Structures are given as C-alpha cells and as structure tokens.
Chain A
C-alpha cells in the first residue's frame, strides 16, 4: 500500500462535483505527477488530498491512517506540506523569517533543518536577509519550497512549481525536486509541463474531467502512443 493515498475521491466546491472517483497515490521517496488538460481538476485533486476541499466519498490515507476528516493545519502536523501555486511566500518578511515561519509548529531546534534548506538552495543563504517579495520568480519558488521543507515533512505537495518561471529556471527546479525526493520524501505535484514532469516521475496520473484516465509509471506514459497524441503534443 502506498504511503499517501487519496482513494476514489469525489467532491468539489459548493454543490458541483469536480472530482469523480479520482485516485492519487504516492510511495516513500517517489515522485508522483498529476498531469492533464486545463480544467481537468489537477489542482483540485491535490487540494482534496490536502483537505482544502470537501470530498463526500472516498478516503485519504497517510501511512495507513485515515486522515479524511483532518483540517489542512492538522495534516501539516502529521507530516504533509503544501506549496500553493501562487501567494506561496510571505513577501514583506526576510527569506530567513519565511523559513522560520515554515517551522512555526516545531518546538525543537530548527537550525539544522535551515542549514539543509540552505544547502539545497544556496542562493537563499546569500539572500537570507532580503525580503522574499524582492526576489525573482525562481528564487521565490525556492523560498516557497524551502518554507514547506522546514516542517520536515514526509510528503511534499507542489502545485505547479514551475508556473511562470523561465525554461532554464524550470530545469533547475526539476533537478532540485529530484534531489529532494532522493532524501526520502514523497513528492506529489501538479504540472503543466507534462513532458518534463513525466520524465522525472516515478508515477504519473493523467486526469481528464476529474477522472483518472491513465495511470502508470512516468516512462510508460511517455511511451504510450495515446497519451502522447492526446496530452503531450505528438
């Protein structure tokens, strides 16, 4: 059984269901990627797993424990971390304070974790006293991921981490995500750049209209002629 599973989730905002029997799972140290056309419910599926959306059927299991009823904050305490697509930093606070706020729930010494984050993102060490709002798009994204890592999560959820950054920065971010997964974290992410995302994915989920359309390893999806034709542009 996978470490984190959102099983047969059905639900949406208000009365209309966006997700229909959608299942997303990720194992320890794995990267799982959700791809699909616009409006497929990719981000919604992710939010459902994190408890930011009401699902009326289906369960979320973390390490075998049913966490369906928990609030997002309680899930953070359980070892899940979420990086929203936008507004994912505290702009008028310094980089270091952003990281500190990420570790708000922790009562132990956070310096080693901060050191690890700085090792992962050396540019943040350089800019640690600068306000996060003054950084470039790629650097902000690093602050956002760094903040999420400060809770020492077991699962890191990223909502389109490469949205709005240049192709070079995008490649860097993907490399960093692989590095993070190597440390033993599970990563669940939504991506617009389906081809690159599937390249680094252990597992890929293609969603269409809130339903699982294809589920396989990243490589297998890349090689599947139908997936290529419909979602990867040939």
Chain B
C-alpha cells in the first residue's frame, strides 16, 4: 500500500502538478489564438511573441516596483505589474492591427495573407523584445517559493516521496480558472461578447444587424493581448523569461488550439491540457515510479523514459499531425483548419 502511495506522490510531484501548471499556461495561450482565429479568421503566428512582449512589460514594471520597495508580501510582485503589462501589450497589438492587419481587412485579403503578415509581426515583435530586454534569461519571481515543500509533505504524511507545489504553480492554476471563467462569462453574457460571437458566426449578418466590426476587432485584440500577457507572465514566473522560449511556445500553443478545435474556446482549454500532459508523461523517466510498483528483482535498469526532454516539441508535433490526419476539426467541433 505504501509503495502505491509513494508511486502516486512521485507521479504527482513530477508529472501531475507540473502538467497542470504548464497545461494552464498553454490553455490561456491557445484561448487567445483560438479567439483571434474565430473572429479575425487567421492563425496569429505572432501570439507567442505577443506573450513575450506583454511579459517583458510586466518584468520592467516588476523591477521598477521592486526598486521602490513595493511588494505583495508572499505573492509575486509581477501580479501587481500585470495590469500594466496588459495595458501596454493591448496598445502594441492594437497598433499592429492599425498599421498592418487593418489594411488587409479592408482589402478582404485571404486568411493566408493575414497569416504571412502575422509572421512579419512576429519577427518585428521578437526584435523589439530582444532589443529592449535582451535575449537572455530574466528571473523576476519573488515572494514565497512554495505552497507545500517536499520536506514538509514527507513529515506530514510519513511517505518517502514528497510532493511540492510551487506558489507559481498554484497561482497559475487559480488564475487560469478565474480568467477562463471571465472570458466565457464575457462571451456568453455580455452584449459585446455576444456581438463577437455573432461576428464570428456570420460576419455579413452581423453587419446587417448593425454590429460595428471595428469595435468587435478591437475588443478581440484587447482580450487576446490580455490572455497573452497573463499566459506569458505565468509561464515566466513558473519557469523563467527568455524571448526565444516564448517563440518556441508557439508550437505547443497551436497544437493545443488545433487539437481542441480552432475557433472553439472550450476546445482550446482542453487542448492545452492534452498537450501538456502528453508532453510531460512521455518525457518523464519512470525508473523510480516503476521501482515502487514492480516486485523486487524486476526493477528496470534503464531510465524508462520514452523520449528525452530535448525532444519534447516532437510530442506536440506528432499530436498535431495525428489530429490533422484523423480529426481535422479537433476534439470539439471547431471551424477546422
């Protein structure tokens, strides 16, 4: 019995807890991608770098607050800087819409043109972020580090294996739930949210109903910027901030959005967790886990790791390919790719 509990604690510590946090970050990212796809009708490749931009602003404000001695006590100061990050990120995204996307929208350009334009925005954003904050790792987490330490958990339960939950993981999961609930409430209950869904459903009829397309587009960008900044900040708090990592996050985020069904907000959340759990369960080394469960003498010598963590992006890629081949509309019915 105790070996089972130890095995479960081990799995919780190294797989379930990190995957829940990572899944929440992906879900928030994918939700932004999915919203832009559903309403503006293109795959926004700049989303990863939008996350980096928003997070960069959060970091700069965090440092400023830290230098003034402002803090949230046990909570990271970054939470205080988050609204500023969202504000400047929204301004940046609205400016890019005004300068680039609006031109193509007027011309009623094909989605693929928007996609290529977004690749351009991606490179420009990436450049701006590196120029301002540099290409290196930045650590901006402060406050308490843990909700539960592994040592305390061991003392509490008497098990050999400990489960530690980092504060950043707790905050990530909690924030994800609050933000997702807020987005769904907005889309389903408010006049602006419903007009966004109407515009996504049937653009021409939305125009005939007197819905102002410019307003819908602006609100969509603001929400996408907010989601990107929140997702990016949570990821940065949980791991660390490096512009290139955020660019790489684009793949798992798109995989999540497509797995769930592009344009379907619920699907984006589910997709985020599917990708996160797949990535972590496949790259985890099960040697010690097996050691608890298998009888004496049958313990494996190797690491029992399906795939090295270096190849974690391959997991997203393979899931993406499988979904596109077998079920192009995603788990939930999205608009399709």
Chain A positions within 8 Å of B, measured between CB atoms, are 72-73, 76-77, 82, 84, 87-93, 97, 100-102, 104-105, 147, 151
Cβ B210 vs Cβ A73 within 8 A? yes
By beta carbon, the residue of chain A nearest B206 is A101
Q: B194, B204, B208, B210 — which one has the most chain A CB atoms within 10 A of its CB?
A: B208
Cβ B208 vs Cβ A82 within 8 A? yes
Q: How far is the CA of A200 from the CA of B198 in the complex (A)?
A: 34
Cβ B204 vs Cβ A101 within 8 A? no
Q: How far is the CA of A89 from the CA of B191 in the complex (A)?
A: 17
- A87: contacting residue among B195, B197, B205, B210, CB under 8 A: B205
Instruction: Count residues of B near A (Cβ-Cβ below 8 Å).
Output: 15
Report chain B residues within 8 Å CB of A101. Answer: 194-195, 198, 206, 209, 211
Cβ A93 vs Cβ B208 within 8 A? no
Binary A-proximity of B172-216 (CB < 8 A = 1, otherwise 0): 000000000000000000010011011001101111111100000
Report chain B residues within 8 Å CB of A102. Answer: 209
Q: How many A-B contacts are there with CB distance less than 8 Å?
A: 56
Sample of 10 A–B contacts (CB below 8 Å): A73-B207, A73-B208, A82-B208, A84-B208, A89-B205, A90-B201, A101-B195, A101-B198, A104-B195, A151-B210
- B210: contacting residue among A84, A89, A97, A104, CB under 8 A: A104
Report chain A residues within 8 Å CB of B194. Answer: 93, 97, 100-101
Interface residues of B: mostly helix, strand, loop or mixed?
Answer: helix
Report chain A residues within 8 Å CB of B207. Answer: 72-73
Q: Known: A97-B194, A101-B194. Contact between A89 and B209, CB under 8 A?
A: no
Cβ A104 vs Cβ B201 within 8 A? no
Q: How far is the CA of A73 from the CA of B206 in the complex (A)?
A: 10
Report chain A residues within 8 Å CB of B198. Answer: 90, 93, 97, 101, 104
By beta carbon, the residue of chain A nearest B333 is A92
Q: How far is the CB of B224 from chain A (nearest CB, A)?
A: 20
Report chain B residues within 8 Å CB of A89. Answer: 202, 205
Q: Which of B240-282 contact A (CB under 8 A)?
A: none
- B201: contacting residue among A77, A82, A93, A100, CB under 8 A: A93
By beta carbon, the residue of chain A nearest B211 is A104
Report chain B residues within 8 Å CB of A82. Answer: 208
Report chain B residues within 8 Å CB of A73. Answer: 207-208, 210
Cβ B202 vs Cβ A91 within 8 A? yes
Q: How far is the CB of B268 from chain A (nearest CB, A)?
A: 15
Q: B195, B201, B204 — which one has the most chain A CB atoms within 10 A of its CB?
A: B201
Q: How far is the CB of A83 from chain B (nearest CB, A)?
A: 9
